[in-house]
Structure 1
Amino acid sequence: MSGHLRPIKLDSYKPLRELVCENIRQAIIDGTFSPGERLMEIQLADEMGVSRTPVREAIRKLELEGFVVMIPRRGTYVADISIKDINEVYEIRTSLDVLAAGLAAERINDDELETLQRLLVEIGQHIEENNMDKIVEVDIAFHDVLYQASRNERLRNIINNLREQITVIRGRSMMYPGRLADTMEEHRALVDSIAARDVERAQNAARIHLENAEHTLLKDMVESHNEKKNKE
Protein backbone atom coordinates (compact mmCIF):
# COMPACT_ATOMS: atom_id res chain seq x y z
CA MET A 1 0.00 0.00 0.00
CA SER A 2 1.63 3.20 -1.23
CA GLY A 3 -0.71 5.78 0.29
CA HIS A 4 0.36 8.45 2.74
CA LEU A 5 -2.52 9.75 4.84
CA ARG A 6 -2.48 12.89 6.94
CA PRO A 7 -2.43 12.35 10.72
CA ILE A 8 -5.82 13.00 12.28
CA LYS A 9 -6.10 16.27 14.22
CA LEU A 10 -8.44 15.98 17.18
CA ASP A 11 -9.53 19.62 17.02
CA SER A 12 -12.82 19.08 15.22
CA TYR A 13 -16.38 18.75 16.45
CA LYS A 14 -16.80 15.69 14.22
CA PRO A 15 -16.57 12.14 15.60
CA LEU A 16 -13.22 10.42 15.10
CA ARG A 17 -14.70 7.77 12.81
CA GLU A 18 -16.03 10.54 10.53
CA LEU A 19 -12.63 12.27 10.38
CA VAL A 20 -10.97 8.96 9.52
CA CYS A 21 -13.60 8.23 6.87
CA GLU A 22 -13.15 11.68 5.27
CA ASN A 23 -9.36 11.24 5.23
CA ILE A 24 -9.47 7.87 3.48
CA ARG A 25 -12.24 8.99 1.11
CA GLN A 26 -10.24 12.04 0.03
CA ALA A 27 -7.14 9.90 -0.56
CA ILE A 28 -9.20 7.71 -2.89
CA ILE A 29 -10.71 10.70 -4.69
CA ASP A 30 -7.38 12.44 -5.30
CA GLY A 31 -5.66 9.25 -6.47
CA THR A 32 -3.38 8.65 -3.49
CA PHE A 33 -4.89 5.16 -3.46
CA SER A 34 -5.33 3.59 -6.88
CA PRO A 35 -8.32 1.50 -8.06
CA GLY A 36 -7.74 -2.11 -7.06
CA GLU A 37 -5.20 -1.21 -4.37
CA ARG A 38 -5.51 -3.14 -1.13
CA LEU A 39 -6.15 -1.14 2.05
CA MET A 40 -4.62 -2.54 5.25
CA GLU A 41 -6.32 -1.49 8.48
CA ILE A 42 -3.13 -1.57 10.55
CA GLN A 43 -1.18 0.62 8.13
CA LEU A 44 -4.05 3.07 7.74
CA ALA A 45 -4.38 3.34 11.52
CA ASP A 46 -0.61 3.87 11.96
CA GLU A 47 -0.48 6.59 9.31
CA MET A 48 -3.36 8.51 10.87
CA GLY A 49 -2.29 7.90 14.46
CA VAL A 50 -5.53 6.21 15.51
CA SER A 51 -6.67 2.77 16.60
CA ARG A 52 -8.06 0.17 14.21
CA THR A 53 -11.65 0.59 15.44
CA PRO A 54 -12.44 3.94 13.73
CA VAL A 55 -10.62 2.68 10.61
CA ARG A 56 -12.79 -0.43 10.54
CA GLU A 57 -15.94 1.70 10.97
CA ALA A 58 -14.79 4.06 8.22
CA ILE A 59 -14.15 1.21 5.80
CA ARG A 60 -17.66 -0.15 6.36
CA LYS A 61 -19.11 3.27 5.56
CA LEU A 62 -16.91 3.63 2.48
CA GLU A 63 -18.10 0.24 1.26
CA LEU A 64 -21.72 1.42 1.50
CA GLU A 65 -20.76 4.55 -0.45
CA GLY A 66 -19.10 2.46 -3.17
CA PHE A 67 -15.53 3.66 -2.57
CA VAL A 68 -14.15 0.28 -1.46
CA VAL A 69 -14.95 -3.39 -1.94
CA MET A 70 -14.60 -5.89 0.92
CA ILE A 71 -13.81 -9.43 -0.24
CA PRO A 72 -14.16 -12.22 2.37
CA ARG A 73 -10.82 -13.81 3.36
CA ARG A 74 -8.96 -11.48 0.95
CA GLY A 75 -9.32 -7.97 2.35
CA THR A 76 -10.46 -4.51 1.38
CA TYR A 77 -9.71 -2.95 -2.01
CA VAL A 78 -10.28 0.45 -3.58
CA ALA A 79 -13.27 0.16 -5.91
CA ASP A 80 -12.70 0.49 -9.65
CA ILE A 81 -15.50 2.64 -11.06
CA SER A 82 -16.99 1.13 -14.20
CA ILE A 83 -18.53 2.86 -17.20
CA LYS A 84 -21.88 1.41 -16.10
CA ASP A 85 -21.45 3.04 -12.67
CA ILE A 86 -20.73 6.39 -14.29
CA ASN A 87 -23.68 6.15 -16.66
CA GLU A 88 -26.05 5.34 -13.81
CA VAL A 89 -24.79 8.14 -11.57
CA TYR A 90 -24.95 10.73 -14.34
CA GLU A 91 -28.39 9.60 -15.49
CA ILE A 92 -29.71 10.28 -12.00
CA ARG A 93 -27.73 13.45 -11.35
CA THR A 94 -28.58 15.00 -14.72
CA SER A 95 -32.29 14.53 -14.10
CA LEU A 96 -32.02 16.00 -10.60
CA ASP A 97 -29.85 18.97 -11.62
CA VAL A 98 -32.09 19.82 -14.58
CA LEU A 99 -35.09 19.83 -12.23
CA ALA A 100 -33.22 21.90 -9.63
CA ALA A 101 -32.04 24.44 -12.22
CA GLY A 102 -35.56 24.94 -13.55
CA LEU A 103 -37.00 25.38 -10.07
CA ALA A 104 -34.17 27.75 -9.10
CA ALA A 105 -34.92 29.93 -12.14
CA GLU A 106 -38.46 30.30 -10.79
CA ARG A 107 -37.72 30.58 -7.07
CA ILE A 108 -34.22 31.95 -6.42
CA ASN A 109 -33.95 35.12 -4.31
CA ASP A 110 -31.54 38.01 -4.82
CA ASP A 111 -29.17 36.95 -2.02
CA GLU A 112 -28.80 33.44 -3.45
CA LEU A 113 -28.22 34.81 -6.94
CA GLU A 114 -25.53 37.12 -5.59
CA THR A 115 -23.93 34.17 -3.78
CA LEU A 116 -23.84 32.12 -7.00
CA GLN A 117 -22.13 34.98 -8.81
CA ARG A 118 -19.60 35.42 -5.98
CA LEU A 119 -18.80 31.71 -5.96
CA LEU A 120 -18.19 31.86 -9.71
CA VAL A 121 -15.53 34.51 -9.09
CA GLU A 122 -13.98 32.35 -6.35
CA ILE A 123 -13.82 29.31 -8.63
CA GLY A 124 -12.08 31.45 -11.26
CA GLN A 125 -9.50 32.60 -8.74
CA HIS A 126 -8.76 29.07 -7.58
CA ILE A 127 -8.41 27.93 -11.20
CA GLU A 128 -5.74 30.60 -11.71
CA GLU A 129 -3.97 29.35 -8.57
CA ASN A 130 -4.41 25.72 -9.73
CA ASN A 131 -5.80 24.86 -6.29
CA MET A 132 -7.86 21.76 -7.07
CA ASP A 133 -8.98 21.16 -3.48
CA LYS A 134 -10.48 24.65 -3.29
CA ILE A 135 -12.01 24.34 -6.77
CA VAL A 136 -13.89 21.20 -5.77
CA GLU A 137 -14.88 22.71 -2.40
CA VAL A 138 -16.33 25.89 -3.96
CA ASP A 139 -17.94 23.92 -6.79
CA ILE A 140 -19.81 21.86 -4.19
CA ALA A 141 -20.89 25.08 -2.44
CA PHE A 142 -22.07 26.49 -5.79
CA HIS A 143 -24.32 23.53 -6.45
CA ASP A 144 -25.57 23.55 -2.84
CA VAL A 145 -26.85 27.11 -3.31
CA LEU A 146 -28.50 26.05 -6.56
CA TYR A 147 -30.26 23.15 -4.84
CA GLN A 148 -31.30 25.40 -1.95
CA ALA A 149 -32.80 27.87 -4.42
CA SER A 150 -35.03 25.11 -5.80
CA ARG A 151 -37.07 25.34 -2.55
CA ASN A 152 -37.64 21.58 -2.71
CA GLU A 153 -36.38 19.88 0.44
CA ARG A 154 -37.00 16.34 -0.81
CA LEU A 155 -34.99 17.06 -3.95
CA ARG A 156 -32.10 18.34 -1.81
CA ASN A 157 -32.23 15.21 0.38
CA ILE A 158 -32.09 12.89 -2.65
CA ILE A 159 -29.14 14.81 -4.08
CA ASN A 160 -27.33 14.71 -0.73
CA ASN A 161 -27.74 10.94 -0.60
CA LEU A 162 -26.02 10.76 -3.98
CA ARG A 163 -23.32 13.28 -3.01
CA GLU A 164 -20.47 10.89 -2.18
CA GLN A 165 -20.91 8.91 -5.39
CA ILE A 166 -20.81 12.21 -7.28
CA THR A 167 -17.73 13.45 -5.41
CA VAL A 168 -15.59 10.44 -6.25
CA ILE A 169 -15.91 11.14 -9.97
CA ARG A 170 -16.26 14.95 -9.95
CA GLY A 171 -12.57 15.60 -9.23
CA ARG A 172 -11.34 13.26 -11.93
CA SER A 173 -13.47 14.96 -14.57
CA MET A 174 -12.30 18.43 -13.52
CA MET A 175 -8.61 17.50 -13.75
CA TYR A 176 -8.87 16.63 -17.45
CA PRO A 177 -6.94 19.19 -19.55
CA GLY A 178 -9.18 22.10 -20.54
CA ARG A 179 -12.15 20.93 -18.51
CA LEU A 180 -11.89 23.62 -15.82
CA ALA A 181 -12.22 26.44 -18.36
CA ASP A 182 -15.23 24.73 -19.92
CA THR A 183 -16.77 24.21 -16.48
CA MET A 184 -16.48 27.93 -15.75
CA GLU A 185 -18.29 28.82 -18.97
CA GLU A 186 -21.00 26.23 -18.31
CA HIS A 187 -21.51 27.55 -14.78
CA ARG A 188 -21.68 31.11 -16.07
CA ALA A 189 -24.31 30.13 -18.66
CA LEU A 190 -26.31 28.44 -15.91
CA VAL A 191 -26.19 31.48 -13.61
CA ASP A 192 -27.07 33.86 -16.45
CA SER A 193 -30.13 31.79 -17.40
CA ILE A 194 -31.28 31.58 -13.77
CA ALA A 195 -30.78 35.35 -13.34
CA ALA A 196 -32.96 35.85 -16.43
CA ARG A 197 -35.62 33.63 -14.84
CA ASP A 198 -35.55 31.54 -18.01
CA VAL A 199 -36.60 28.05 -16.88
CA GLU A 200 -36.04 26.28 -20.20
CA ARG A 201 -32.60 27.84 -20.74
CA ALA A 202 -31.56 27.02 -17.17
CA GLN A 203 -32.60 23.39 -17.60
CA ASN A 204 -30.72 23.17 -20.89
CA ALA A 205 -27.60 24.73 -19.33
CA ALA A 206 -27.67 22.18 -16.50
CA ARG A 207 -28.11 19.32 -18.96
CA ILE A 208 -25.21 20.45 -21.15
CA HIS A 209 -22.95 20.86 -18.10
CA LEU A 210 -23.61 17.31 -16.85
CA GLU A 211 -23.38 15.73 -20.30
CA ASN A 212 -20.02 17.41 -20.92
CA ALA A 213 -18.73 16.33 -17.50
CA GLU A 214 -19.72 12.71 -18.18
CA HIS A 215 -18.20 12.78 -21.67
CA THR A 216 -14.93 14.13 -20.28
CA LEU A 217 -14.76 11.51 -17.55
CA LEU A 218 -15.41 8.64 -19.99
CA LYS A 219 -12.75 10.01 -22.35
CA ASP A 220 -10.27 10.18 -19.47
CA MET A 221 -11.04 6.57 -18.49
CA VAL A 222 -10.52 5.32 -22.06
CA GLU A 223 -7.23 7.19 -22.38
CA SER A 224 -6.00 5.93 -19.00
CA HIS A 225 -6.93 2.36 -19.96
CA ASN A 226 -5.10 2.63 -23.29
CA GLU A 227 -2.04 4.14 -21.63
CA LYS A 228 -1.95 1.34 -19.06
CA LYS A 229 -2.39 -1.27 -21.78
CA ASN A 230 0.49 0.17 -23.81
CA LYS A 231 2.79 -0.09 -20.83
CA GLU A 232 2.04 -3.78 -20.31
Structure 2
Amino acid sequence: MRHSRDAAHVRPSLETEIASAIQEGILDGEWQPGDRLVEMELAQKFGVSQGTIRGALKYLQADGLVEHRPRRGNFVIAVSEEDIRDISLMRDILESAAAQLATERITDAGRARLAEVVEEMRRASNNRQRRHLLELDLRFHRTVVEIAQSKLLQDMYKRLEGPALLFLLLADGFYEEPQTIVDLHEPLLAAICSGDSARAHELARRHTDQDAIRLTDPSANGPAV
Protein backbone atom coordinates (compact mmCIF):
# COMPACT_ATOMS: atom_id res chain seq x y z
CA MET A 1 0.00 0.00 0.00
CA ARG A 2 2.84 2.36 0.75
CA HIS A 3 4.20 1.81 -2.76
CA SER A 4 0.78 2.66 -4.21
CA ARG A 5 0.60 5.89 -2.23
CA ASP A 6 4.10 6.83 -3.35
CA ALA A 7 3.17 6.15 -6.97
CA ALA A 8 0.03 8.24 -6.60
CA HIS A 9 2.13 11.03 -5.12
CA VAL A 10 4.70 10.97 -7.96
CA ARG A 11 2.25 10.61 -10.83
CA PRO A 12 0.74 14.12 -10.79
CA SER A 13 4.20 15.72 -11.08
CA LEU A 14 5.00 13.48 -14.07
CA GLU A 15 1.68 14.39 -15.67
CA THR A 16 2.32 18.11 -15.21
CA GLU A 17 5.83 17.68 -16.62
CA ILE A 18 4.41 15.98 -19.72
CA ALA A 19 1.67 18.62 -19.96
CA SER A 20 4.33 21.35 -19.97
CA ALA A 21 6.28 19.51 -22.68
CA ILE A 22 3.17 19.23 -24.86
CA GLN A 23 2.42 22.92 -24.28
CA GLU A 24 5.96 23.80 -25.38
CA GLY A 25 5.46 21.68 -28.49
CA ILE A 26 2.29 23.59 -29.30
CA LEU A 27 4.07 26.92 -28.86
CA ASP A 28 6.96 25.71 -31.03
CA GLY A 29 4.55 24.70 -33.79
CA GLU A 30 5.05 20.94 -33.44
CA TRP A 31 1.27 20.72 -33.01
CA GLN A 32 -0.90 23.32 -34.72
CA PRO A 33 -4.34 24.59 -33.65
CA GLY A 34 -6.86 21.93 -34.64
CA ASP A 35 -4.32 19.06 -34.60
CA ARG A 36 -5.35 15.81 -32.95
CA LEU A 37 -3.23 14.67 -30.00
CA VAL A 38 -3.11 10.87 -30.18
CA GLU A 39 -2.53 9.26 -26.77
CA MET A 40 -0.60 6.24 -28.12
CA GLU A 41 1.73 8.41 -30.20
CA LEU A 42 2.37 10.77 -27.28
CA ALA A 43 3.02 7.83 -24.94
CA GLN A 44 5.65 6.51 -27.35
CA LYS A 45 7.18 9.96 -27.83
CA PHE A 46 7.60 10.63 -24.10
CA GLY A 47 8.18 7.04 -23.00
CA VAL A 48 5.28 6.94 -20.56
CA SER A 49 1.96 5.11 -20.26
CA GLN A 50 -1.20 6.21 -22.02
CA GLY A 51 -2.71 6.75 -18.58
CA THR A 52 -0.04 9.35 -17.82
CA ILE A 53 -0.70 11.03 -21.18
CA ARG A 54 -4.42 11.02 -20.43
CA GLY A 55 -3.75 12.77 -17.13
CA ALA A 56 -1.44 15.32 -18.78
CA LEU A 57 -4.08 16.11 -21.38
CA LYS A 58 -6.62 16.71 -18.62
CA TYR A 59 -4.36 19.45 -17.25
CA LEU A 60 -4.24 21.04 -20.70
CA GLN A 61 -8.01 20.70 -21.01
CA ALA A 62 -8.41 22.52 -17.69
CA ASP A 63 -6.15 25.29 -19.02
CA GLY A 64 -8.29 25.58 -22.15
CA LEU A 65 -5.42 24.68 -24.50
CA VAL A 66 -6.79 21.26 -25.46
CA GLU A 67 -10.38 20.18 -26.04
CA HIS A 68 -11.78 16.66 -25.76
CA ARG A 69 -14.30 15.65 -28.41
CA PRO A 70 -16.40 12.57 -27.57
CA ARG A 71 -15.49 9.52 -29.69
CA ARG A 72 -12.87 11.58 -31.56
CA GLY A 73 -10.15 12.31 -29.03
CA ASN A 74 -8.17 15.35 -27.91
CA PHE A 75 -7.33 18.33 -30.11
CA VAL A 76 -5.33 21.52 -29.79
CA ILE A 77 -7.95 24.24 -29.71
CA ALA A 78 -8.52 26.01 -33.01
CA VAL A 79 -8.81 29.80 -32.89
CA SER A 80 -11.24 31.46 -35.31
CA GLU A 81 -11.78 35.20 -35.79
CA GLU A 82 -14.82 34.95 -33.54
CA ASP A 83 -12.70 33.17 -30.92
CA ILE A 84 -10.09 35.94 -31.15
CA ARG A 85 -12.75 38.55 -30.45
CA ASP A 86 -14.12 36.50 -27.56
CA ILE A 87 -10.66 35.91 -26.06
CA SER A 88 -9.86 39.60 -26.41
CA LEU A 89 -13.12 40.56 -24.72
CA MET A 90 -12.54 38.21 -21.80
CA ARG A 91 -8.92 39.31 -21.42
CA ASP A 92 -10.11 42.92 -21.41
CA ILE A 93 -12.64 42.23 -18.68
CA LEU A 94 -10.52 40.01 -16.45
CA GLU A 95 -7.09 41.61 -16.84
CA SER A 96 -8.34 45.18 -16.48
CA ALA A 97 -10.43 44.26 -13.42
CA ALA A 98 -7.46 42.44 -11.92
CA ALA A 99 -5.15 45.40 -12.55
CA GLN A 100 -7.60 47.76 -10.89
CA LEU A 101 -8.01 45.51 -7.84
CA ALA A 102 -4.27 44.90 -7.65
CA THR A 103 -3.56 48.62 -7.23
CA GLU A 104 -5.67 48.51 -4.06
CA ARG A 105 -4.37 45.23 -2.64
CA ILE A 106 -0.74 45.04 -3.70
CA THR A 107 1.93 44.62 -1.02
CA ASP A 108 5.67 45.15 -1.16
CA ALA A 109 6.02 41.42 -1.83
CA GLY A 110 3.58 41.73 -4.73
CA ARG A 111 5.50 44.68 -6.18
CA ALA A 112 8.68 42.62 -6.01
CA ARG A 113 7.00 39.67 -7.77
CA LEU A 114 5.77 41.82 -10.65
CA ALA A 115 9.09 43.63 -10.98
CA GLU A 116 10.87 40.27 -11.11
CA VAL A 117 8.65 39.07 -13.98
CA VAL A 118 9.31 42.27 -15.96
CA GLU A 119 13.04 41.96 -15.33
CA GLU A 120 12.91 38.38 -16.63
CA MET A 121 11.02 39.71 -19.66
CA ARG A 122 13.88 42.14 -20.30
CA ARG A 123 16.40 39.29 -20.19
CA ALA A 124 14.27 37.17 -22.53
CA SER A 125 13.98 40.13 -24.90
CA ASN A 126 17.73 40.77 -24.88
CA ASN A 127 18.35 37.08 -25.62
CA ARG A 128 15.56 37.09 -28.24
CA GLN A 129 13.77 34.22 -26.49
CA ARG A 130 10.41 34.96 -28.03
CA ARG A 131 8.55 31.87 -26.83
CA HIS A 132 9.73 32.41 -23.26
CA LEU A 133 8.70 36.05 -23.56
CA LEU A 134 5.15 34.99 -24.45
CA GLU A 135 5.03 32.72 -21.41
CA LEU A 136 6.28 35.60 -19.24
CA ASP A 137 3.63 37.89 -20.74
CA LEU A 138 0.96 35.48 -19.52
CA ARG A 139 2.77 35.01 -16.19
CA PHE A 140 2.74 38.77 -15.62
CA HIS A 141 -1.04 38.96 -15.98
CA ARG A 142 -1.53 35.77 -13.96
CA THR A 143 0.52 37.36 -11.17
CA VAL A 144 -1.63 40.50 -11.32
CA VAL A 145 -4.72 38.29 -11.00
CA GLU A 146 -3.20 36.57 -7.96
CA ILE A 147 -2.33 39.92 -6.36
CA ALA A 148 -5.95 41.03 -6.87
CA GLN A 149 -6.91 38.32 -4.32
CA SER A 150 -10.20 37.33 -5.92
CA LYS A 151 -10.77 33.57 -6.04
CA LEU A 152 -13.54 33.91 -8.62
CA LEU A 153 -11.31 36.05 -10.83
CA GLN A 154 -8.48 33.51 -10.49
CA ASP A 155 -10.78 30.61 -11.40
CA MET A 156 -12.10 32.44 -14.46
CA TYR A 157 -8.62 33.46 -15.61
CA LYS A 158 -7.34 29.91 -15.20
CA ARG A 159 -9.83 28.74 -17.83
CA LEU A 160 -8.70 31.52 -20.16
CA GLU A 161 -4.96 30.85 -19.96
CA GLY A 162 -4.74 28.26 -22.74
CA PRO A 163 -6.68 30.31 -25.32
CA ALA A 164 -4.84 33.45 -24.18
CA LEU A 165 -1.49 31.77 -24.79
CA LEU A 166 -2.50 30.90 -28.36
CA PHE A 167 -3.78 34.47 -28.76
CA LEU A 168 -0.36 35.79 -27.71
CA LEU A 169 1.35 33.36 -30.06
CA LEU A 170 -0.73 34.61 -33.00
CA ALA A 171 -0.22 38.27 -32.04
CA ASP A 172 3.55 37.82 -31.65
CA GLY A 173 4.04 38.31 -35.38
CA PHE A 174 3.03 41.97 -35.06
CA TYR A 175 6.04 42.74 -32.88
CA GLU A 176 9.22 42.77 -34.94
CA GLU A 177 11.28 43.62 -31.87
CA PRO A 178 10.63 41.63 -28.67
CA GLN A 179 11.49 44.74 -26.63
CA THR A 180 8.14 46.18 -27.75
CA ILE A 181 6.36 43.57 -25.61
CA VAL A 182 8.44 44.60 -22.58
CA ASP A 183 7.70 48.27 -23.27
CA LEU A 184 3.96 47.54 -23.10
CA HIS A 185 4.24 46.06 -19.62
CA GLU A 186 6.57 48.52 -17.90
CA PRO A 187 3.97 51.35 -17.71
CA LEU A 188 1.39 48.86 -16.40
CA LEU A 189 3.85 47.72 -13.75
CA ALA A 190 4.42 51.35 -12.72
CA ALA A 191 0.68 52.11 -12.58
CA ILE A 192 -0.13 49.08 -10.44
CA CYS A 193 2.80 49.62 -8.07
CA SER A 194 1.98 53.32 -7.63
CA GLY A 195 -1.72 52.66 -6.98
CA ASP A 196 -3.01 54.46 -10.10
CA SER A 197 -6.11 52.31 -10.63
CA ALA A 198 -7.57 54.25 -13.58
CA ARG A 199 -4.34 54.11 -15.58
CA ALA A 200 -3.75 50.46 -14.66
CA HIS A 201 -7.26 49.59 -15.87
CA GLU A 202 -6.74 51.39 -19.19
CA LEU A 203 -3.25 50.03 -19.87
CA ALA A 204 -4.28 46.45 -19.09
CA ARG A 205 -6.86 46.45 -21.86
CA ARG A 206 -5.25 48.67 -24.49
CA HIS A 207 -2.76 46.34 -26.20
CA THR A 208 -5.19 43.40 -26.07
CA ASP A 209 -7.69 45.47 -28.05
CA GLN A 210 -5.06 46.44 -30.61
CA ASP A 211 -3.87 42.86 -31.07
CA ALA A 212 -7.43 41.65 -31.64
CA ILE A 213 -7.95 44.32 -34.31
CA ARG A 214 -4.78 43.28 -36.13
CA LEU A 215 -5.63 39.58 -35.98
CA THR A 216 -9.07 40.14 -37.51
CA ASP A 217 -8.26 43.07 -39.83
CA PRO A 218 -5.29 42.51 -42.18
CA SER A 219 -5.21 46.24 -43.05
CA ALA A 220 -4.26 47.18 -39.47
CA ASN A 221 -0.53 47.67 -38.93
CA GLY A 222 1.98 48.74 -36.33
CA PRO A 223 2.47 47.85 -32.65
CA ALA A 224 -0.05 48.53 -29.95
CA VAL A 225 0.28 51.93 -28.33
Across the two proteins, how many residue pairs are aligned to each other? 209
Alignment of 1:41-190 (within 5 A): 41-59=39-57, 62=60, 65=64, 67-68=66-67, 70=69, 72=71, 76-178=74-176, 180-190=178-188
Which ranges of structure 2 fall in alignment gaps of 5 or more residues? 1-9, 221-225
| Identical residues among aligned pairs (%) | 25
Deviation of 1:185 (Å)? 1.8
RMSD (CA atoms): 2.9
Partner AA of 1:120 in structure 2: V
Which aligned runs of 4 or more in structure 1 are off by greater than 6 angstroms? none
In 2 relative to 1, CA 84–99 (structure 1 residues): closer, same or farther, beyond 3 Å?
same
SS at match of 2:12: coil
SS at match of 2:33: coil
Alignment of 1:189-204 (within 5 A): 189-204=187-202
Corresponding residue to 2:20 among 9, 19, 22: 22
**Contact 2:35–2:76 (CA under 8 A) maintained in structure 1:** yes
- 1:4 corresponds to: none
For 1:86 and 1:51, the matched residues in 2 are separated by 35
Deviation of 1:102 (Å)? 1.1
Higher mean C-alpha deviation, range 57-66 or range 167-176: 57-66
Alignment of 1:209-220 (within 5 A): 209-218=207-216
Deviations 1:44-81 (A, max 9, x none): 21111112232344446645635246474x66544421
**Contact 1:20–1:58 (CA under 8 A) maintained in structure 2:** yes
For 2:177 and 2:217, the matched residues in 1 are separated by 12
Partner AA of 1:93 in structure 2: R
Tell me the TM-score normalised to structure 1 length: 0.74
1:35 aligns with 2:27: no
